[in-house]
Structure 1
Amino acid sequence: MDSIDILFAYVIGGFGAWAAALMMLIAVQGDRLHRGVLLRCALGFTLLGAGMVLSGLVDRAARWPTLTLALSAVVATLVIYRALRQLVGVPVIPRLRRWSEIAALCLLLLLAWLGGPRSFALAFHIVCLALSLGLTWAVRRALLAPRNAAETAMAATLLFYAGTWVFALYATLQHDGPEHRHLLYVEPPLLAAYGVIYALLPLLVGAHVLNLANARLDRRLRQQASTDELTGLLTRRALNERAMAWHADVLERERLPAVLLLDVDHFKPINDTHGHERGDHVLRAVSGRLRGALRAGTPLARWGGEEFLVLLDAANLDEAGATAERMRTAVGATPFAFGEERLPVTISIGVSAWPAGGVFARAVAEADAALYSAKREGRDQARVAGVDRTVAAIATRRHATAGEESHLPGSGP
């Protein structure tokens, strides 16, 4: 493939870059989350397309389109690089630094241009290799632990892109001849492959950017759907979706799945006396204490209003009851501080087993009945389904019984 064919491939690639930019401008209308990222990517692809199209359409005897191609490619790649970093979760760098980077690279290329064709070709390839490696490094996590297929595809494409610049720089170092308008110095057998690659790559990367943005948006929407906005706990729907898999896992480990249903005592008077904003603060504070009383990873959801539900992995019902008592104490032992005000808050808890073959809704109903019993008998207590005493009373009785047995004839050392 000769230089005319390569330049024609650049024209195709330029229109592909413009098509990618147009798709991003359309996507922005329905994706406010990634508006800034997509607009910067669209700008980058627009610049890249302009440089590639000009290099193929302007008088081939002129040398300035070579400089335009190089500047547009470098600036566009840097703009897309910085946008992609944000898209994969890397913190955004200050705008002044971004502009400084662009200015520094443009100045470097201009100085290399004045130094002659060879110095310009080397500078251009070194900069492009550095930027392609930076792109690959920015998405390195997607190579090692991708969260979705979009990340895998983007990372693989950028790794391949960096590889093309490694070989292109090597070929440039070996080249000892006239300047090429298209700035590629690989041997003719590979030149055709480079032409195809650079004709298709802008549109391919643009599609990857959109897929990555969509995947990230989908993940965020799923997270919002599964997380209670006020407390940060699981939503009722999210817990229902996870319950069966959790139940099977606990049974497989020969443990007892237990359901704990909790309710904040006298919550309506808190709202009526102190206002709904204070009520929201109470729910957030209660959520924090509940999390602190449970093992990390224990499913905990805001079940509705001032109710919470816990799926507990326990050895037996006694252990489940002890955990419920610990949670009750964690919430009620110390009043909540709101500025100068101290507000005592307690909870009531119902505990039930969810045995093998049991229905989740039935286990919840049994825990709800135990919770209702705890409410009816005075609140600020935990009850186990099917037991007519509070968890604390059962524990006290057992300790007393154990003490009596220790004093029986023949007991002890």
Structure 2
Amino acid sequence: MHTIDMMSALVIGGSGAFVSAGMMRLAMQTDRSLRRPLRWCLWGFLLLGFGLSQNAFTSWAWRLPILVGASATLAATALVSRGLLALATGHVVRHPALLDVLLPTGVLALAWTQGHHAFGIVFHAACLAVSSAAAVALRPALLAPRSAAEMTVAATMTFYAATWAYGLFGAMTYSGPERRHLMYVPEPALSLYAATYALLPLVVGALVLNLANARLGQRLRVQAGTDELTGLMSRRALHEGVDAWHAEVLAQGRRAALLLIDVDHFKRVNDTFGHEGGDEVLRALGRHMPRQLRAGTRLARYGGEEFLALLDAGSLDEAVQAAERLRASIAAAPLGGVPVTISVGVAGWPADVAFARALARADVALYEAKRAGRDRVVLDVEPAGGRRAGEAAG
């Protein structure tokens, strides 16, 4: 592939960068939470599009467009890398984004005065440094990706850094006249570079959108699985994983127990302190209960002022003791500035019993706790279907 073909490929790449910038703009309008990293990518693609495309509208006798294109490419690499890093890992680069534009421009402007050979080497070395830093920062997304989009983005950035490594080698060993496109690799590698850089801006733009969609999907799944008021698991999320949790507990030779928890006289709390006061009590419970139960206990807001804990216990007695410690800790100190108590129904969940049946037995035990005066823990002593319940006094 000849020089003119390489230049044509870069101009095509510039057009692709403008298309990618348009995609970033559309994505920013649909997802407010990702506006900041998408804005970095938007400006990066705009700079790249301008830097590459301006070659088509300037005389080949001018050398200044070479500096403009190189500076835009380096700054765009830094800005898009910043956005990708935030999307893929959540890490935000601390220095101002404007520095990603001013510093590359300054470095290349200084190198410009040293002649075209030194300029080509500095340009490739700077692009290699920026892209390699981004590839290293994205390494967790490559080694332990949360989605295929993350892995693809990290792999693409690694490949991009590799192209600059080979390009730097070519620039260091080249001894001919200056090339307007600054690609000093020999044929047939130059043909591969032309095809790669023509397509890369559009490909990276599509990857950014895929990564943003993956982040949005992950956030929606977290929101769907989290109770908005208390921060605990939602009822739906608990149900989705309950069978797998049960099988794992039984496989370890331990007992699965259900703790159905209800705030006593919660209507009175709402009537006395208002619904905001009641909400604050529920929020305080959401913070307090996980600290009182064994680590790894699955705890969900099950509805209104009712909570459900799936407890991995050595025995039902141990489950009752855990429930009693929880009850006593809540009764001992006001939550959200309001003194409250809880009633707890405890039931075992044997291997041959459905979750719905075990939950019904915990509900029977909770009813017994309420009927007996509240502020107490009651164990359903026949979780497989018996009618008797035993009480652990509060």
Q: TM-score range by the shorter chain?
A: over 0.9
SS of structure 2 residue aligned to 1:345 = coil
Take 1:329 and 1:382, find their aligned partners in 2: how far apart are those partners?
A: 10
Q: Is the CA contact (8 Å cut-off) linking 2:20 and 2:45 kept in structure 1?
A: yes
**1:354 is matched with which residue?**
349
Alignment RMSD: 1.6
Number of the residue aligned with 1:172: 171
Residue aligning to 1:81 = 81
What displacement does 1:200 show? 1.3
CA distance in 1, matches of 2:352, 2:146: 34
TM-score normalised per structure 1: 0.90
Q: CA deviation at 1:289?
A: 2.3
Report what 2:197 is aligned to: 198
Alpha-carbon distance between aligned partners in 1 of 2:312 and 2:335, rounded to the nearest angstrom: 29
**Matched residue type, 2:41:** C
Shifted more, 22-31 versus 209-218: the winner is 22-31
Alignment CA distance shift 1:101-1:14 (3 Å): closer
Question: Which residue is 1:90 aligned to?
Answer: 91
- Corresponding residue for residue 70 of structure 2: 70
Structure 1 gap segments, 5+ residues each: 394-413
Cα distance between partner residues in 1 of 2:185 and 2:120? 12
Task: Label 1:297 to 1:388 Cα distance change in 2 as closer, same or farther (>3 A).
Answer: closer
Residue of structure 2 in register with 1:124 after alignment: 123
Tell me, in whole angstroms, the C-alpha distance in 2 between the residues paired with 1:154 and 1:346: 51
After superposition, what is the alpha-carbon deviation per residue over 1:87-132, rounded to whole angstroms, capped at 9, x for unaligned?
Answer: 23013535xx322342222111112112211121122111111110
Q: Alignment identity in percent? A: 51
Letter of the aligned partner of 1:378 in structure 2? G
Q: Report what 1:146 is aligned to.
A: 145
Q: Which moved more, 1:100-109 or 1:300-309?
A: 100-109
- What is the rounded CA distance, in whole Å, between the counterparts of 1:200 and 1:337 in structure 2? 58
The residue type paired with residue 354 of structure 2 is: V
Tell which deviates more after alignment, 354-363 or 297-306.
354-363
Q: 2:364 aligns with which of 352, 363, 369?
A: 369
Query: Separation in 2 of the partners of 1:28 and 1:285?
Result: 36
Question: CA separation in 2, counterparts of 1:100 and 1:189?
Answer: 36
1:246 Cα deviation (Å)?
Answer: 0.7
Larger radius of gyration: 1
Where structure 2 has 5 or more consecutive residues not aligned to the other structure, the ranges are 382-387
The residue type paired with residue 285 of structure 2 is V
**Alignment-derived partner of residue 107 in structure 1:** 106
Partner of 1:398: none
Match of 2:391 in 1: 390
Could you give the per-residue CA deviations for residues 4-29 of structure 1, whole angstroms, max 9, x where no partner exists?
A: 11111112211111121122222222
Give, in angstroms, the shift of residue 214 of structure 1: 0.6
Residue 3 of structure 1 aligns with which residue?
A: 3
| 2:277–2:336 contact (8 Å) kept in structure 1 | no
User: Per-residue deviation at 1:57?
Assistant: 4.7
The corresponding residue for 1:322 is: 321
- Cα deviation digits, residues 221-266 of structure 1 (max 9, x gap): 1001101111110000110111111111112222221111000111
Is the deviation greater in 84-93 or in 121-130?
Answer: 84-93
How many residue pairs match? The answer is 387
Counterparts of 1:29-44 in structure 2, within 5 Å, are: 29-44=29-44
Give the corresponding residue for 1:378: 373
CA distance in 2, matches of 1:141, 1:263: 42
Structure 1 stretch displaced more, 25-34 or 240-249: 25-34
- Which stretch has the larger CA shift, 124-133 or 275-284? 275-284
Deviation track 1:119-166 (CA, whole Å, cap 9, x = no partner) reads 211221111111101221231210221111110000000001101111
Q: Segments of 4+ in structure 1 off by > 4 A? A: none
Deviations 1:20-43 (A, max 9, x none): 112222222211211222232122
Q: TM-score, normalised by structure 2?
A: 0.94
Give secondary structure in 2 for the equivalent of 1:351.
strand
Secondary structure of 2:200's counterpart equals: helix
User: 3-state DSSP class of the match of 1:283?
Assistant: helix
2:308 corresponds to 1:309:
yes
Q: CA deviation at 1:388?
A: 3.8
Residue type at the aligned position of 1:63: R
Asked whether the 8 Å contact 1:168–1:185 carries over to 2, the reply is yes
CA distance in 2, matches of 1:146, 1:388: 49
In 1: Cα distance, 2:195 partner to 2:109 partner = 28
How many Å apart are 1:56 and its aligned residue? 4.1
